[in-house]
Amino acid sequence: MLRSIARANGAAVLVPVAAALLLSGCATFGKKKGETPYIARDVESLYTEAKNQLDEGNYKIAGGLFDEVERQHPYSEWARRAEIMGAFTYYLQRDYNKAIEGAQRFLSIHPGNKEAPYATYLIALCYYEQIADVSRDQKITQEALDALTEVIRRYPQSDYAADARLKLDLVNDHLAGKEMEIGRYYERSGQWLAAQIRFQTVIDKYQTTSHTPEALYRLTETDLALGIPDQARKYAAVLGANYPGSEWYERAYDLLGKKEPDLVKDQA
């Protein structure tokens, strides 16, 4: 299915062309901000006005009109389109909870609909937009990872899956960053084993992220602190083999030279 690109909050967002098509006819109602008076209207003009309001950036009015499409014409094809467009409108307002609820409701009622891939993607996008700084709790980041993975699993050949894969790399890097932050805190506190667990998690779960070289260095560092030089040398060797020009390998080499000079001679 063809897709179009809409721009929301400065980012490109994939939206269904089918849901974005303008229909013939026009109506003049709902012009007063925040009000959507109940007046019986034909479905095409109602949907058209909702879409016009959306295009003009009047998201709250547009959302109310899409709701009216559902309420006044619940069994029409337009109602199904209005459901997913209503969820998208909430996304544009950054009301992510309502956007997720709307998309989930659409999927529960119309699991086989042609717009189901987009609804699944929209849920993931809502979680992704809420990812917080690594210094804060990362529950929402994990939810973003799970939702993006679901898009890829269910619709692997879709445009949505391609975008989800790109976002997944950033999410994994974010989660790895959180593990590193906690590990460094434990290390500063002298809790070497607790620090090692965090750094090892980065190696095991997020080894393709930008944090891997530092994680290998930190494992070298903690092993030396724990009195396990052989294990420290193994991590330093892996670091040198995979990231020979990185600052972390140079630091590991210098560290081994200070703590275990014989180990450095073996690697020279």
Domain-wise residue ranges, the chain: 1-113
Q: Judge whether residue 268 has pLDDT over 70.
A: no
Per-residue pLDDT of 76-113, as tens digits, reads 788 888 899 999 999 999 999 999 999 999 999 989 99
Residue 69, pLDDT score: 82
Residue 267, pLDDT score: 47
Contact assessment for residue 34 and residue 19, using Cβ atoms and an 8 Å cutoff: no
Provide the CATH number for the domain formed by 1-113 in this structure. 1.25.40
What is the rounded end-to-end Cα distance, in angstroms, of the chain? 58
Two structure tokens written together for 43: 């479905």
Whole-number Å distance between alpha carbons of 136 and 211: 18
Contact assessment for residue 65 and residue 30, using Cβ atoms and an 8 Å cutoff: yes
- State what percent of residues in the chain have pLDDT above 90: 59
Contact assessment for residue 232 and residue 256, using Cβ atoms and an 8 Å cutoff: yes
Identify the CA nearest to 253 among candidates 30, 266, 142: 266
Instruction: Grade residue 259 by pLDDT with cuts at 50, 70 and 90.
Output: low
> Which DSSP letter does residue 132 get?
P
Instruction: Grade residue 17 by pLDDT with cuts at 50, 70 and 90.
Output: very low
Instruction: Grade residue 225 by pLDDT with cuts at 50, 70 and 90.
Output: very high
- The three-class DSSP label of residue 137 is coil
Give the helix/strand (H/E) hosting 265.
helix 261-267
Question: Rg for the chain (alpha carbons), in Å?
Answer: 26
Whole-number Å distance between alpha carbons of 239 and 126: 37
Q: What is the mean pLDDT of the chain?
A: 83
